[in-house]
Chain A
């Protein structure tokens, strides 16, 4: 892990190359997080990958997340890893919810990190995040005709109510 000052240096370096690409840093529990501007995510990740001083060449994972009450609602986390130095760095891009009239959009990084293919599809499947430029952005785990983004926080968990003796008269669909 880069330490806290190192993280600031990285942020500064990216910002000097791509104006406004990094909007903040966080260092908690020994884990370094760069808060990136979603519009410049490709530049940020490309810089971290290709710059010899950083060389985060391995993308371990892409997580989608939904912070519902918070204002930029969605986030995509890129878990970067530099194998020789064993340093992990998380890049987080916060995406606002466009509401009913659209889906949050972000540039795909599949050409930079081919491993992001399935993982971006997964984030798309569960959170409805559209990765612009993804070669094959379809649902991956849910049935292809499924409607809704099931892991958003405002999506109901679903399932069936459990019927106990006390509730068997009130549970819908069940009569004695």
Chain B
């Protein structure tokens, strides 16, 4: 297939509603009906738009996304996402919970980036409390955020490859994913939705043997990534469906508010890890991979390269993990250590107060962004001085990035839509919240 015909400039292919109702030479429907039957059949065959409904139960929509696709033959002419099928009302539920009980809710928004969700929420609460987290906690957060990034990209890669017909990628990616989940389980006791971060630091120090396991994982992972590359990079089917498909120019992506690997694949080196200094990413040495063309191939390569960089960060994080406490010593926010409960009355009272009522956060508003696997996760938090947040709003990257799907797909084939959607990697829990 000739790439130039497959990916025309999106501006040429976007049609206004008036144009959609007209045929190639600009006649309206009424005029067309006036023509002779033979002529009309020919016109209709060329120009008829056919709207199909994909989802919400469709195996390749990565969740319960529904797409209304207008097709002309096999070419996508228009696309409308319909979402809300897993709208859970999490933001409302958070308003009914004290801050530390809201963390599990926040986690369940984007269910492949639970650490990013937590980091954004805890960061916003800490901003309002003017709380500084100890270095060990910050490093542990980075360690887990990066493990989470690899985990998320693995699931994304496995399921995308599955959509494109490469089923064995799924097994391989899930094999490594389970290794990461073992690490999560080791540090927090849960595979998913760990509630490991909390306001003031992390819930628990890492257990004995965790560092060794992480090092083993770091030694293993680059080889595994090389295996994925060996499987996919020269696969003719995969290349055909990836290269020069779904190109959207960088400027347009910025207008659409797209962040994350999608934006970086288009050549914009924007990574909050490099520019925001709320988490000490400045102490780490890593690169930000970017693409040049901005097609699906670049998106795939950027994600693989990001996994490699994350492995580098994780290695540095375990090697240089600072000693000290893993949680801030702020007794009005943080539960007293377990052993004090047996000896100190104040600690017991404090514990009781914190567990039953929660801590109060002074009135104010804060927005705290974190670079997650899909882009900028930002929590906007309004506190009214009570122990419960007054408003929690998550700026979820999948939700914003989804707006780019139309421009990625319009003018391409309907089969490329699946590839585009897979490479957009939306998580419906994050979109619908």
Contacts and interface: CB of A to CB of B under 8 A. Distances in A.
A and B touch in the complex (CB under 8 A): yes
Interface string A15-46: 00000000000001111010000000000000
A67 B403 contact: no
B369 A60 contact: yes
B256 A115 contact: yes
B365 interface: yes
Contact of A119 (B83, B367, B384, B400): B400
Contact of A151 (B92, B276, B364, B400): B92
A113 B255 CA distance: 6
Contacts of B382: 65, 67
A118 B395 CA distance: 11
Contacts of A155: 92
Interface in B84-101: 84, 87, 89, 91-93, 95-96
A63 B381 CA distance: 10
Contact of A29 (B93, B130, B257, B393): B130
A113 B393 CA distance: 20
A29 B378 CA distance: 16
Contacts of B228: none
Nearest to B269: A83
A65 B393 contact: yes
B407 to A, nearest CB: 10
Interface string A65-85: 111000000000101000100
Contacts of A60: 257, 369, 376, 378, 395
Counting contact residues on chain B (CB < 8 A from A), the size range is: 35 or more
A94 interface: no
- Identify which of A58, A64, A122, A153 gathers the most chain B CB atoms within 10 Å of its CB: A58
A31 B390 CA distance: 18
A150 B89 contact: yes
A118 B403 contact: yes
A113 B275 contact: no
Contacts of B270: 83
B128 interface: yes
A126 B270 CA distance: 31
B391 to A, nearest CB: 5
Interface residues of A, number: 40
B399 interface: yes
Interface in A137-170: 139-143, 150-151, 153, 155, 157-158
A54 to B, nearest CB: 16
A120 to B, nearest CB: 12
B367 A79 contact: yes
Given A61-B380, A79-B395, A114-B255, A143 B366 contact: no
A134 interface: no
Nearest to A156: B92
B255 A29 contact: no
A129 interface: no
B217 to A, nearest CB: 32
B432 interface: yes
A58 to B, nearest CB: 6
Contact of B93 (A122, A140, A157): A157
A143 B395 CA distance: 21
Interface string B361-405: 000111101000000101010101000001101010001101100
A79 B256 contact: no
B276 A86 contact: yes
Contact of B255 (A31, A115, A140, A151): A115
Contact of B84 (A29, A140, A153): A140
A6 to B, nearest CB: 18
A88 interface: yes
A57 interface: yes
Given A61-B378, A114-B255, A29 B83 contact: no
Given A64-B393, A79-B395, A59 B432 contact: no
Contacts of A58: 254, 257
Given A30-B127, A153-B95, 5 more contacts: A61-B395, A79-B380, A114-B256, A115-B256, A118-B402
**Nearest 3 pairs of A and B residues by beta carbon:** A115-B257, A141-B84, A61-B395
Interface of A: 28-31, 33, 57-61, 63-67, 77, 79, 83, 86, 88, 90, 113-115, 117-119, 122, 126, 139-143, 150-151, 153, 155, 157-158
6 contacts: A60-B257, A86-B275, A113-B257, A115-B400, A122-B399, A157-B89
